[in-house]
Amino acid sequence: MCGTTNTRVHSKVRDTLSSMTESAQAASRQEQKGRTRQAILAAALELAQRQGFAQISLRQVARHAGIVPTAFYRHFDSMDELGLALVEQSFSTLRRMIREAQRDPKVFDNIIDAAADVLVEAVKQSKAHFAFVARERVGGSEAVRRAIRHELDLFVSELAVVLARLPNIENWATEDVQMVSRLFVRNMVSNAEEVVEMPDGRPDLEERIKDGARRQMRLIVVGFRDWYPAEARSSPLDPDAR
Amino acid sequence: MCGTTNTRVHSKVRDTLSSMTESAQAASRQEQKGRTRQAILAAALELAQRQGFAQISLRQVARHAGIVPTAFYRHFDSMDELGLALVEQSFSTLRRMIREAQRDPKVFDNIIDAAADVLVEAVKQSKAHFAFVARERVGGSEAVRRAIRHELDLFVSELAVVLARLPNIENWATEDVQMVSRLFVRNMVSNAEEVVEMPDGRPDLEERIKDGARRQMRLIVVGFRDWYPAEARSSPLDPDAR
DNA sequence: AAGTTCAGTGAACGTGCGTACACTCAAAGT
DNA sequence: ACTTTGAGTGTACGCACGTTCACTGAACTT
């Protein structure tokens, strides 16, 4: 009665992903499993963008990923676990970008513009992940919220280390560096929110947001410079603060 | 078969609210209706604090308000309308507080500390409303999100008017005042988020947050002062900036 | 005193949900 | 060649949901 041909029926995300790997057909078991897992993650991410992760259902995700609801459990124990996986994925993307940017010598010349560039570029490239983090940071389930908060705290500390290495900052009090870092990250989150909420076909606004982010970072830095009035005049932090 | 004694059965919020008005029993029809409406709003607000407004159901709200699901429709056409009513309520509270604070002569001496005081006091007094706004600003339904965004924009403009009247700011460019105002409001939202996410029995953290808010506002102001370097030295904005 | 209004009731409906269960059938292991 | 494994299937369940409908009875209007 049942017993359909199984593998590769109607599917949205899964087919797309499969066709991306040109030499596709050699589907070793775990490769295929990984692919379906990615399909689930992608489906959840896309659906979450419209309605928020907390209000999408397991069945919706499964439908969008091209699998039957019960198959979901082969990959995640619950929607909460899916959410945590998405948090992890989002931050690993973000961290990779920061690490790459760190190699760029431009950072030493002009942190602010570099940071603004990285921010806008990163958000543009993986908008969905940023949207996810921005939204679920306050709107998600307890577990997801906690995970994001933790990751953001880690990120603040990492950025503080980077900042502390810059000339003219190395003699700041650690807690002040930490505070600047926290403000930068907060600023990043705010601007990510703005990009996310941005009407779809208006890339002109992007430049405005980027400019705003730059000005705000400069503001933070100028404010802080006043706390270290003596030597911090020609810091790389504000090469041309108007 | 049915025909129970109606009015005043088991109820959570409704009984509480009723007993608040000492001379209660004279329940004129519209008074009673208003009371139930408030009960619904209060129930929704409380439930939204735990799980987020978007994931609570009409039936949950009705249950918590002590009415039957269908009675809900006597007051709101849908959950979305309830959400909009909550937005309105939240901002009217906020606006009242700002208006009161504006009469306080302290504002002229020291805006920053005054603002920090108002912020913390306001958040403490109506935590639930702030929590609602902070959460639903990004996590809510399309309609609710838009409404909050609009109210916040209005609020930024209002605050800008207040700021523009202060000595030494009156000659700033309007758009700069607007930007300071926007940063202040953004700061307010961020701190509200923090208070909201604060573990319940830790009022000691409150003071830390308040202090952080103060420092951040000072930062904004000090940064801006550098853009108007000539005369703005002893502005009320930063009477004692360390 | 008789009639109208309407906030709140309770039963009933269709729908989508999470999850349990027994299943298939190709890849992986022997 | 054979078993074993396990990703994906299809059915079936109980439950909470939003919404409909005809209703009751106290507060009001006349």
Query: Distance (Å, rounded) from C-alpha A81 to C-alpha B87?
Result: 32
The phi and psi torsions of B205 (rounded to 5 degrees) equal -65, -30
Closest CA-bearing residue to C1' of D27: B29
User: Of A54, A149, A220, which has the smallest distance from its Cβ to B54's Cβ?
Assistant: A54
A29 touches strand C (CB under 7 A): yes
Kindly state whether B166 is in contact with chain A, defined as any CB-CB distance less than 8 angstroms.
no
* Sequence-separated (6 or more) residues with CB below 8 Å from residue B163: B111, B169, B177, B180, B181, B184
Q: Is the pLDDT of residue A7 over 80?
A: no
Query: Distance (Å, rounded) from C-alpha A67 to C-alpha B206?
Result: 48
Q: What pLDDT, on a 0 to 100 scale, did the predictor assign at position A136? A: 95
Q: Which residues of A touch B83 (CB under 8 A)?
A: none
Query: Distance (Å, rounded) from C-alpha A49 to C-alpha B142?
Result: 11
Q: Is the pLDDT of residue A241 over 60?
A: no
* Nucleotides in D strand less than 7 A from protein CB: 6-12, 16-22, 24-28
Q: What pLDDT, on a 0 to 100 scale, did the predictor assign at position A237? A: 52
Query: Distance (Å, rounded) from C-alpha A47 to C-alpha A128?
Result: 10
Q: Is the pLDDT of residue A169 over 50?
A: yes
Q: Per DSSP, which regions of chain B are E strands?
A: none
Residue owning tokens 């102001």: B221
First to last CA, chain A: 76
Q: What pLDDT, on a 0 to 100 scale, did the predictor assign at position A85? A: 98
User: Of A145, A197, A224, which has the smallest distance from its Cβ to B219's Cβ?
Assistant: A224
Determine the Cα angle at B117 with ends B113 and B123, to 5°: 145
Cross-chain residue pair A219–B216, CB shorter than 8 Å: no
B185 near B156, Cβ under 8 Å? yes
Mean pLDDT over B158-172 rounds to 85
E strand or H helix that includes residue A40: helix A29-51
* Sequence-separated (6 or more) residues with CB below 8 Å from residue A241: A218, A221, A222, B226
Q: In a 10 Å sphere around its CB, with 0-12 CB exposed, 13-18 middle and 19+ buried, how is residue A241 labelled?
A: middle
Q: Tell me which of A65-79, A193-207, B77-91 is least confident.
A: A193-207
Query: Distance (Å, rounded) from C-alpha B59 to C-alpha B127?
Result: 24
Residue owning tokens 């979305």: B80
Task: Using only the alpha carbons of chain A, give its radius of gyration.
Answer: 21
Nearest CA-CA partner of A64 in A27, A30, A38: A38
User: Could you tell me the distance in Å between the CA of residue A198 and the C1' of nucleotide C28?
Assistant: 49
Mean pLDDT over A146-157 rounds to 96
Residues of chain A numbered 102-161 and touching chain B (CB < 8 Å): 134-140, 145, 149
Kindly state whether A175 is in contact with chain B, defined as any CB-CB distance less than 8 angstroms.
no
* Sequence-separated (6 or more) residues with CB below 8 Å from residue B49: B128, B131, B132
Nearest CA-CA partner of B61 in B137, B78, B5: B78
Q: Tell me which of A41-50, A68-77, B74-83, B91-100 is least confident.
A: B91-100
Residues 39-58 of B near strand D (Cβ < 7 Å)?
A: 57-58
Kindly state whether A57 is in contact with chain B, defined as any CB-CB distance less than 8 angstroms.
no
Q: Tell me which of A86-90, A189-193, B75-79 is least confident.
A: A189-193
Q: What pLDDT, on a 0 to 100 scale, did the predictor assign at position B138? A: 92
**Shortest alpha-carbon distance between residue B180 and chain A (Å):** 10
Q: What pLDDT, on a 0 to 100 scale, did the predictor assign at position A187? A: 87
B168 touches strand D (CB under 7 A): no
- Tell me the C-alpha to C-alpha distance, in Å, between residue B18 and each of A87, B73, B122: 45, 21, 25
Q: What pLDDT, on a 0 to 100 scale, did the predictor assign at position B227? A: 66
Q: Is the pLDDT of residue B87 over 60?
A: yes
A42 near A66, Cβ under 8 Å? no
Structure-block tokens of residue B174? 């309007």
Q: Which residues of B touch A221 (CB under 8 A)?
A: 223
pLDDT in tens, B108-136: 777 788 888 888 788 878 889 999 999 99
B110 touches strand D (CB under 7 A): no
The phi and psi torsions of A171 (rounded to 5 degrees) equal -100, 10
Rounded to two decimals, the pTM is 0.85
* Nucleotides in C strand less than 7 A from protein CB: 6-12, 16-22, 24-28
Cross-chain residue pair B222–A222, CB shorter than 8 Å: yes
CA B83 to chain CA mean position, Å: 14
